[in-house]
Structures are given as structure tokens and as C-alpha cells.
Structure 1
Amino acid sequence: VVIELVAYGPGLNMFIPGKSPVEDRIETLSLELENLSFSACGNTHRKMSAKAGQDIPLMSEASVVPSGVVRLIELQENGFAYVRP
């Protein structure tokens, strides 16, 4: 099983160091599970950074993708299941 967690909109807060309520869990899981990756929506990140007036850092575990929603579509087209909390 391969898992990719894609965050966009308010969900992107989980990838912001010091603000994420699951920061420790993400760090631990990324070390324990080779088949787990984290993707951050570039559109959301850009808008959040513009609103803050500075670039908002993201956890090193998160890779920025151009669009979170488009990434979800790509994954579904490749046979991934979309599971929402």
C-alpha cells in the first residue's frame, strides 16, 4: 500500500512547523513508513504566504505540488482511493 497525504486549504496548517497539531506524528510516521508521502498545495501555500506578507515555511516532510486538487485527481486516475477525514 502506498499512501500520499495531500493537504490544501486550511488543511495545509498541518504542515506548518510550530502551528501543526500533528507535527510530531508526521515526523515519526515519515521515519517509520517508507510508503508514506506528504504533498502540500502550492496554490494554498502561495495565498497563505501572500496574506502573511512573507514565505510561510513548511515541514521538510512535505513536498509542494502545484495544486492539491489536481494532485488528488492525478492520484485517483492512477488507481488511488480518495479518503477524506
Structure 2
Amino acid sequence: MLKYLCLALVMLMPASNAVASDNYGEQKVVYHMNYGDSSRISATFSNISNHIQAVGEENIDVRVVVHGAAIEYFTAAQDDNQKQVALDTLRLSGARFIICGNTLDGYNITREDLYDVTAEDVVQAGLPEIVRLQQQGFSYVRP
């Protein structure tokens, strides 16, 4: 009986997720992250994950602009498996992290000092990137 109940729940999951997704429509959102507090970053990652789950991966375009002290999370992630998993999980859900080049210069680091950051992930300046994304219809969120 438990086996059939579990099977029924699994079968209903996509349907209930689709209903939730339909309620919100398609969304484009830019999250602003410039704080170094790990607990606040973890809370932000939870917000992003919940947002993606509520809207549906196929209905949302998430960008996370990272500058200032938040860059330290990405340097620490080089040697921290838990941080790597957190970043990888969001990326696999469709979130794209955008790194501020001015912050890299200010911290005297390169993208190679950060966990899994490509050249395409780096922009010249984080704040103008946020404005550019807003001009393209992205909603601004700063948890």
C-alpha cells in the first residue's frame, strides 16, 4: 500500500508544480548580492531556490550579481565542499552568477581564484549590470 501511495505522490508532483508555475507566469529576476555574511548568503540561496521551485525552472531566468564582500564566498568555495554544492545546485536549477570585475580588481584576485567562474561570468561592473538587466525587464531583488 505504501508503495502505491508513494507512486501516486510522485505522479502528482509535476502536476502540482505546473499549477504553481502557471500562477506566476514567466519571470526574469536579478538578485543583488554584495554582503559577506555566510548565513545571509545561505538565506539568499534558499530564497533563490524557493523562487525557482515556485515558478518552475522553465519559467524563470535568474541572474545573481555578485560584488563586494560576497566575492569571498566564491573564494572560500574553492576549498569548501558545502559551498560548492550550494553553488552547483543553484546553477543546475538555472541560476547564473555574474561576477563584478571591479570587485576582482579591488580584492586583487582573478576569476581563477573563484569556484567555477568562467570568463563569460565576469562583467566590468556589477551595479551597471544590475541596471542593464532591469532595463531588459528583470525584476530586482535584494534579500
TM-score norm. by structure 2 comes to 0.48
The aligned residue for residue 137 of structure 2 is 79
- For residues 41-60 of structure 1, what are the structure 2 equivalents within 5 Å? 41-49=100-108, 55=110, 57-60=113-116
What is the rounded CA distance, in whole Å, between the counterparts of 1:7 and 1:76 in structure 2?
Answer: 16
What are the superposed Cα offsets for residues 59-84 of structure 1, whole Å, 9 maximum, x if unpaired? 21461111011110100111111111
What is the rounded CA distance, in whole Å, between the counterparts of 2:126 and 2:102 in structure 1?
Answer: 8
Aligned length: 79
What is the rounded CA distance, in whole Å, between the counterparts of 1:27 and 1:84 in structure 2?
Answer: 21
Identity of aligned residues (%): 29
Root-mean-square deviation (CA, aligned residues, Å) is: 2.3
Matched, 1:27 2:27: no
Consecutive unaligned residues of structure 1, counting only runs of 5 or more, are none
What are the superposed Cα offsets for residues 1-60 of structure 1, whole Å, 9 maximum, x if unpaired? 1000001111112222237x74321112212x13x10011000011101xxxx6461121
What is the rounded CA distance, in whole Å, between the counterparts of 2:131 and 2:141 in structure 1?
Answer: 13
Contact 1:27–1:61 at 8 Å: present in 2 too? no
TM-score norm. by structure 1 comes to 0.77
The aligned residue for residue 73 of structure 2 is 14
- Which one-letter code corresponds to 1:66 in the other structure? Q
Point out the structure with max Rg over C-alpha. Answer: 2
Q: Which protein has the bigger helix share?
A: 2
